[in-house]
Amino acid sequence: MPSTRDIRRRIKSVKNTAQITKAMQLVAAAKMKKAQDQASHGRAYAEMLNKVLVNLKVHAEEGIHPFFAEGKGDKTLVLLIASDKGLCGALNTNLFKKLLNTQIEGEVEYVTIGRKSVQAINRLRRTLLADFPIKDPAKFAEVRAVSRFIQDKYRTGEYKKVLAVFNNFINTVTILPSVEQLLPVNPVTLGGKRDFGHEITPAAAATLEYKFEPSAQVVFETVLPQYVNDTVYQMVLESRASEHSSRMVAMKNATDNAKQMIKDLSLEYNKLRQAAITNELLEITTAKMALE
């Protein structure tokens, strides 16, 4: 049975923890707002670019651009986007689980963003090609370096395709770990449900003829690298929004739990104190009665 002093000490330590988690919750909430706005603003652009290119892919003559066809090699490049810091619930664990459950044929090599993903890849003893530290909030110029690295690798033809593993942000409590194909150009889902409302089926699209100005080659050569840059950037934004939301929720739960614990401990403490007082009173009365 713990003494009242022990309980008092425990209440104090739980209170301190609650204070820290509360502070982290507030910080995460502020960052979350910004990250969510950023992610949702960029989504329309990235989605439409993807839509347009998927439509155009059907018309592209074979071999017009390397990004439209699978590479000759049989290796797969995986871009893994996780958070830099922990204390964000099961966010990263779920993402890595998703990665491990995904069947990828042939040799797999990794490019990572975020410290947690580097750690995971090292722990799993997989081949790590490069790691890119990206600050928070993410800057486009930093992400462009990652994108350029991936494009250069893909152009060598050693890789069959490039996959991206990241957290799709749907809303504050729902985060979807996703695996999407970045290259060759493929429909990509960013954040929640995808509105493919006026999507043209490949068969119908094939009957549509497009004219390219000045030529298909020039158009694709300018647009496709931009497409990869922007898609990777959007994926990073989705991941960041997920990270901050997840951390906010985790910290809120921690604070709530700490508060509940303080309540329980206080109750126990008061019970003990009352028991001690009653005991003392009893002793005094018995002593008095013995004297009479």
Which of 124, 206, 208, 267 touches other proteins by CB under 8 A? 208
Which of 94, 212, 259, 261 touches other proteins by CB under 8 A? 212
Q: Which residue number, 92 or 151, has a Cβ lying nearer to other proteins?
A: 151
Which of 135, 209, 287, 289 touches other proteins by CB under 8 A? 209
Question: Are 150 and 195 a contacting pair, CB within 8 Å?
Answer: no
| 214 counts as binding other proteins under rule CB under 8 A | yes
Q: Smallest distance, Å, CB 242 to other proteins? A: 19
| 230 counts as binding other proteins under rule CB under 8 A | yes
Per-residue contact string for residues 39-68; x = within reach of other proteins by CB under 8 A: --xx-xxx-xx--x--xx------------
> How many residues lie near other proteins (CB under 8 A)?
26
Give strand pairing partners of 127.
109
HSE-CB at 197 with a 13 A cutoff on CA atoms is 3
- Would you give the end-to-end CA distance of the chain in angstroms? 36
| 222 counts as binding other proteins under rule CB under 8 A | yes
Question: Are 185 and 67 a contacting pair, CB within 8 Å?
Answer: yes
Span from 1-9, 72-80, 155-163, 211-219 in contact with other proteins (CB under 8 A): 211-219
Span from 126-134, 159-167, 212-220, 271-279 in contact with other proteins (CB under 8 A): 212-220
Question: Are 142 and 240 a contacting pair, CB within 8 Å?
Answer: no
* 107/247 Cα distance (integer angstroms): 34
Which of 87, 130, 219, 272 touches other proteins by CB under 8 A? 219
The secondary structure of 5-18 as a DSSP string is HHHHHHHHHHHHHH
CA proximity to 232, closest of 84, 78, 95: 78
| 211 counts as binding other proteins under rule CB under 8 A | yes
Q: Smallest distance, Å, CB 222 to other proteins? A: 5
| 223 counts as binding other proteins under rule CB under 8 A | yes
CA proximity to 60, closest of 216, 271, 203: 216
CA proximity to 108, closest of 170, 161, 167: 161
* 227/185 Cα distance (integer angstroms): 9
| 139 counts as binding other proteins under rule CB under 8 A | no
| 196 counts as binding other proteins under rule CB under 8 A | no
| 210 counts as binding other proteins under rule CB under 8 A | yes
* 160/208 Cα distance (integer angstroms): 29
134 Cβ contact list (under 8 Å, min separation 6): 113, 114, 142, 143, 146, 236
Per-residue contact string for residues 147-186; x = within reach of other proteins by CB under 8 A: ----------------------------------------
Q: Which residue number, 57 or 160, has a Cβ lying nearer to other proteins?
A: 57
Residues forming contacts to other proteins in the complex (CB under 8 A) are 41-42, 44-46, 48-49, 52, 55-56, 198, 208-214, 216, 218-219, 222-223, 226, 230, 233
